[in-house]
Amino acid sequence: MQNETVAMKEKEPVSRRSFLGSAAAAISAGAVISAPFAFAQSRSEIFKGEQDHSASNPGPVNKAIAGQNGSSELPPDTDKGDVNPFWYSFDLSHRRVQDGGWTRQVTEKDLPSSRDLAGVNMRLTAGGYRELHWHTANEWAFMIYGNARVTVLNPDGTIFINDVTEGDLWYFPAGFPHSIQGLGPDGCEFLLVFDEGTFSEYQTFLISDWLAHTPPEVISKNFGLPESAVRKLPDDELYIFQGEVPGSLEDDKKAVGGKAVESKIDYTFRMKAMKPTLENASGDVRIVDSSLFTPSKAISGALVRIKPGGMRELHWHPNASEWQYWISGSGRMTVFASSGKARTMNFNPNDVGFVPAVAGHYIENTGTEDLVFLELFRSSYFAEFSLNQWIRRLPLQMAEDHLHLSEGEIEKIPSTKLDVLGR
């Protein structure tokens, strides 16, 4: 069989399909760090230029970054043209650390293509507060770790208070005052997503900041307190600070007025605990938009799990760009930007990905463990088109004429939108 393969290579160029197959096999067989070498081995058999060391790099190399980005170091032959950056990592962002926790962000400044959404990664200790505040953007959140208590006030004076844990969501409308506090035993960590690409977590409306910049006599008149009491107020913003771990949720609800002041709107949702929207042997997808989580009017999302060797099928989204947060595992994504432009990048935990609206793409698990990531959209509803389903919905002759495939080959293409595919 090996001799037959060599003979075929001598007679005719290797086809695009055989190259892609060998490259995919190389990625599936090794870890992400070995990807550049796997690509080099398969490609060197094909391209004489690389046998002459055209791809060699005798200069300085940041081995840690190069090892995690094999698809940039030695791109697939299908990558062409200039595609705007669509990768960044929270681990490159400045981390603001205070007593009670820390925060860091990825905005349009860091990832210029992402004009619709910005993200914040935050950690609070047990008892640690993200102080009472509000902001100009809608806030969608996913709990990565631990437990937290959240509050949000409605314009009618009713208050929502609830506890959230790993895999839960919350959604706070723009301008609604709210708070977040870490609970026992070890606080929490979460992702915040805002529907403004230029949103900055460091420019929110803080209660401490407002009062510090209001004349004391005005505060005294407003609160009905003597100026001696007003002097106790913070003279600068708190932002994140350490507090005491609160008591039970029930006690807090009773303390503020019980059912009489309880919000009729639930601003939290159990995303990870919900039944998958789609599930098969290759993984599962949980889609949450305003049809399930009514308050989430501006942001929708999906939690995707892909098993080793599987992939998120070739697809695109017609209504919004896609902002991704990679939670665990490793993978690669190619973004097709039309007009012969495409680029492939590798992704790892804590990375951020971006896909422009209507751009075709896939996501492949290149590691040995489950790949888990979030897809976020500035839209009240989730929508996508499957390339497989489109092909199978076309008249057979039309598909044959465009793809140069036989009837039998076309019939092997899945006719339903599967979202996640196997090997």
How far apart are alpha carbons 348 and 340 in whole angstroms? 27
Residues 171, 267: contact at Cβ < 8 Å?
yes
Q: Residue 74 gets which letter from DSSP?
A: S
Is residue 189 part of an annotated ligand binding site? no
Q: How many CB atoms lie within 10 A of CB 369?
A: 11
Angle, helices 16-29/35-44, rounded to nearest 10 degrees: 150
Q: Give the residue extent of every domain in the chain.
A: 2-73, 93-269, 274-421
Residues 296, 288: contact at Cβ < 8 Å?
yes
How far apart are alpha carbons 8 and 1 in whole angstroms? 11
Is residue 404 part of an annotated ligand binding site? no
Place of tokens 């099928």: 313
Is residue 53 part of an annotated ligand binding site? no
The CATH code that applies to domain 274-421 is: 2.60.120.10
How far apart are alpha carbons 46 and 43 in whole angstroms? 5
Distances (CA, A) of 270 to 162, 171, 191, 291, 379: 12, 12, 15, 14, 20
How far apart are alpha carbons 187 and 295 in whole angstroms? 26
What tokens does 200 get?
């900055």
Q: How many CB atoms lie within 10 A of CB 364?
A: 21
How far apart are alpha carbons 53 and 171 in whole angstroms? 53
Residues 139, 120: contact at Cβ < 8 Å?
no
According to the model, what pLDDT value does residue 56 have? 86
SS3 content of the chain, % helix, strand, coil (to 5): 25, 30, 45
Identical topology for domains 93-269 and 274-421:
yes
Is residue 213 part of an annotated ligand binding site? no
Residue from 375, 400, 409, 411 carrying the catalytic annotation:
375
Is residue 201 part of an annotated ligand binding site? no
Distance of CA 26 to the CA centre of its chain: 26
Quick one: which of 293, 282, 349, 352 has its CA closest to 323? Answer: 352
Mean pLDDT by 10-residue block, N- to C-terminus, for the chain (423 residues)? Answer: 41 41 38 40 44 78 90 92 96 98 98 97 98 98 98 98 98 98 98 97 97 97 96 97 98 97 98 97 98 98 98 98 98 97 98 98 98 98 98 97 98 94 85
Mapped onto helix, strand or coil, the DSSP state of residue 278 is: strand
In the residue annotation, 375 being an active-site residue is answered as yes
According to the model, what pLDDT value does residue 50 have? 45
How far apart are alpha carbons 267 and 297 in whole angstroms? 11
Quick one: which of 238, 128, 142 has its CA closest to 183? Answer: 128
The CATH code that applies to domain 93-269 is: 2.60.120.10
What phi-psi label fits residue 77: left (phi over 0), alpha (psi between -120 and 50 degrees) or beta? alpha
Q: How many CB atoms lie within 10 A of CB 230?
A: 19
How far apart are alpha carbons 341 and 363 in whole angstroms? 17
Quick one: which of 353, 362, 360, 299 has its CA closest to 326? Answer: 353
Residue type (1 letter), 61: V
